[in-house]
Amino acid sequence: MENSGEHPTQHPTHHVQHEQKYEANAEKGNFYDRHHLIFLLIPVIMLIGALAYIIVFYQATGDIMHKDVTLTGGTSLSIFSDNISTTALEAALKTDFPDVVIRSLNDVQTGKQIAVSIETASGPDLLRPAVEKVIGYQLNEQDSSMEFTGNSLSNSFYNELLKAMLLAFLFMSVVIFILFRSPLPSLYVILCAFADIVIPLAIVDYFGIRISTAGIAAFLMLIGYSVDTDILLTTVVLKRRDEETLNKRIHSAMKTGLTMTLTALATVLIAFSLSLAPTLKQIFLILAIGLVTDIIVTWGMNASLLKWYCDRKGFK
């Protein structure tokens, strides 16, 4: 067969599809380039609103959070019973104990009540007789347990926890500055970590959740969760400039970061739904709120600020 020397005809559809895909991606990039600072508004508004709410809350209550008996001092009484109505018990005790908090503890598989937890700032000598009068029988070591914490010890412990949280945040800030050695990107990471604590705290205060010692530990954990994604984003954007364009670097970091955060969020939500202990439930709830906040803050605030910074510096 004689070879004509002509190249095989290529179907033009592939070229058209490739060009359309390229133009679509370019349009997305142009949209982000033009409007990336708009994505900054949502987390900024959330942060300002959270700070304003905490300030008003502090003026009204004298503190930045609702505290349970582990931080204020008081009595915690648990009754192992499946036939006590928490609603009726709370209504009966509310007159003499206005601050009383009553929770029902249920079995995970059956959902059946297995115990009732009662917390108040009053002493055990006042709480136990009042509860026994309502339920109609005397409590003993087999069907109940009681713990009492003094006010001075609880306040001291609370202050120590706040100092520990402040020191953790301070040392984290120092490490960030050493790692990136650029003032503005480092400040962006610190600002996002600050927002990831303040916004969940305002949400918890709004819903009247009483924070325990474990709850403060959860806020400490949020510092680590926040810094992880922000360091990932900042590292990819600033230290891999020779590999990809700025938008591609942000998109790559976002895929990895969202995978990390959503995996952690799914785990926390499952643990929250399966946990019986109120202390564990509080930890998982605070972490869940913080992880959702971190998604908004990291990819709305930090990503937009980093893009603005790179545009100003001419980093492409």
- Judge contact between 50 and 199, C-beta under 8 A: yes
* 213-234: pLDDT as tens digits: 889 989 988 888 888 899 999 9
What are φ and ψ of residue 254, in 5° steps? -65, -40
- CA 24, 30, 35, 40 torsion-angle sign: positive
What pLDDT, on the 0 to 100 scale, is given for residue 15? 45
How large a percentage of the chain has pLDDT more than 90?
35
Q: What is the pLDDT of residue 268?
A: 95
pLDDT of residue 32: 61
CA dihedral 155, 148, 123, 54 (to 10 degrees): 40
What is the model's pLDDT at position 179? 86
DSSP for 43-106, please give it: HHHHHHHHHHHHHHHHHHHSSSS-B-HHHH-EEEEEE--SS--HHHHHHHHTTT-TT-EEEEEE
Which has more confidence, 51 or 22?
51
Q: Report the amino acid identity of residue 95.
A: T
Mutual angle of helices 183-206 and 278-296, in 10-degree steps: 140
Q: In angstroms, how far is CA 46 from the centroid of its own chain? A: 14
Question: Tokens 């209504």 identify what position?
Answer: 91
Residue of 201, 221, 196, 213 lying closest to 162 (CA atoms): 213
- In sequence order, the 6+-apart residues with CB closer than 8 A to the CB of 235 are none
Instruction: Indicate the residue type of 172.
Output: M
State yes or no: pLDDT of 141 exceeds 50. Answer: yes
> Residue 271 — left, alpha, or beta (φ > 0 → left; ψ -120 to 50 → alpha)?
alpha
Per residue in 293-316, pLDDT (tens digit) is 999 999 999 999 998 888 887 766
Q: What domains are there in the chain, each with its CATH number? A: 34-67+152-313 (1.20.1640.10), 74-149 (3.30.70)
Edge-to-edge order in the sheet of strand 74-79: 101-106, 113-120, 74-79, 144-149
Q: Residue 119: beta bridge partners?
A: 76, 101
Q: Is the pLDDT score of 200 beyond 90?
A: yes
Measured between alpha carbons, how far is 138 from 107 in angstroms, rounded to an integer? Answer: 25
| Residues across the chain | 316
- 89-106: pLDDT as tens digits: 989 999 888 888 888 887
Count CB neighbours of 60 within 10 A.
Answer: 8
44 vs 180: CA distance, rounded Å: 23
User: 212 falls in which pLDDT band (50, 70, 90)?
Assistant: confident
